[in-house]
Structure 1
Amino acid sequence: MDSPEAFCVTGLREWIALPDLGVVGLRAKIDTGASTSALHATEISEFERDGERWVRFNAHIGTLVQRRHRCEAPIVTRKTIKSSNGQAQARYVIRTLLALGERAWPVEFTLTCRKTMRYRVLLGSKALVDGRLLVNPAHAYLLNKPQILTSPGAQ
């Protein structure tokens, strides 16, 4: 069994950054009941680059004032996800670096419209295991905001 020192305790909500996408200042909901992580994305379109499948999309940053940030990432796969209300949806899956507190590791995200949801990012159990995180649901924002500079493409 791993020693407790190897793990980091997180709250139910935390600030994250996605540095490879040039995105910083996203509030994420930690969801141990979800296997896969999800990122709010709109205007999603697939394209080819150097013989590989990529996806282009807008990530949405901010809570009161929404800013769109155009992103591109290689496609890992397409996956059918069943939401908590039982609806099945085919989604693109990307893999990108996640920064949370002092840690950073690659995480797979499905791209989906979460505009009706309070949090633009949902961190699922696979990301928690890979990041060696323990969740204390009695707290929120236990970790410092990641200090990652955004790219000049943010709108």
Structure 2
Amino acid sequence: MRFQLTALLACLLLMPGLPHAGEKATYGLNEQVWLPELSQAVTAKLDTGAQTASLSARDIKRFKRDGQNWVRFYLAIDDKKTHPIERPLARISKIKRRSGDYDPEEDKTYTARPVIKLDVCMGKRLRSIEVNLTDRSAFQYPLLIGSDALSLFGALVDPSIKYAAGKPDCATDANPAE
């Protein structure tokens, strides 16, 4: 009996620290983010209905470097195309096409997109997420953050607010949690 009481008291003493381990952060429908590897600030749309994250890119070219698959692209917000970006290719993603984007003569119900790993700072949290590259210039936000990445951020999304996290403020020497 004494052991059970001691164990119960020990558990109660440790409980106040438990909420911090899985602490959630509230974000709005849109957030300012910092992409430290690209030295670029962008506005992102947080979309819990999308699984993956997408970054607006143009002139996407796959190539080999030292036997590894890489991709070269320009951010779609870089109209002058002055800064080509080269990143290792993480994988190729198959994104389901929407009904208006489906061509029955092509007989493909998906679009293949290159995926890269990218560090993203949102609020005070820095995470390394996978983003697929596609031209999002027709959309208002160059970065869409889907549920996979939102989970890494421990995000609670309140669509009634915008920019809840404030200006991105991640320590430059922080390690991106995965």
> Shorter-chain TM-score: which interval?
0.7 to 0.9
The aligned counterpart of 2:92 is 78
Displacement after TM superposition at 1:3 (Å): 3.2
Query: Could you tell me the TM-score, scaled by structure 2's length?
Result: 0.73
Q: 1:9 aligns with which of 26, 45, 52?
A: 26
Larger RCO (CA under 8 A, 6+ residues apart): 1
1:135 and 2:149 matched: no
Distance in 1 (CA, whole Å) between partners of 2:33 and 2:24 is: 17
Amino acid at match of 1:42: R
The aligned counterpart of 2:131 is 109
Distance in 2 (CA, whole Å) between partners of 1:67 and 1:118 is: 19
Distance 1:18 1:145, change over 3 A: same
Distance in 2 (CA, whole Å) between partners of 1:39 and 1:129 is: 18
Query: Could you tell me the TM-score, scaled by structure 1's length?
Result: 0.83
Amino acid at match of 2:90: V
Amino acid at match of 2:139: M
Q: How large is the RMSD of aligned CA atoms in angstroms?
A: 2.1
Distance 1:7 1:84, change over 3 A: farther
Unaligned runs of 5+ residues in structure 2 are 1-17, 102-109, 171-178
Q: Quote the sequence identity (%).
A: 37
1:60, 1:67 within 8 Å by CA — same for their partners in 2? no
Superposition pairs of residues 6-155 of structure 1, within 5 angstroms = 6-23=23-40, 25-61=41-77, 68=81, 69-85=83-99, 87=101, 88-146=110-168
Amino acid at match of 1:7: K
Displacement after TM superposition at 1:18 (Å): 1.4
Distance 1:53 1:84, change over 3 A: same
The count of corresponding residues between Structure 1 and Structure 2 is: 143
Unaligned runs of 5+ residues in structure 1 are 149-155
2:87 counterpart SS class: strand
Distance 1:10 1:67, change over 3 A: farther
- Name whichever structure is richer in helix by fraction: 2
1:118 counterpart SS class: coil
Moved over 6 A (4+): none
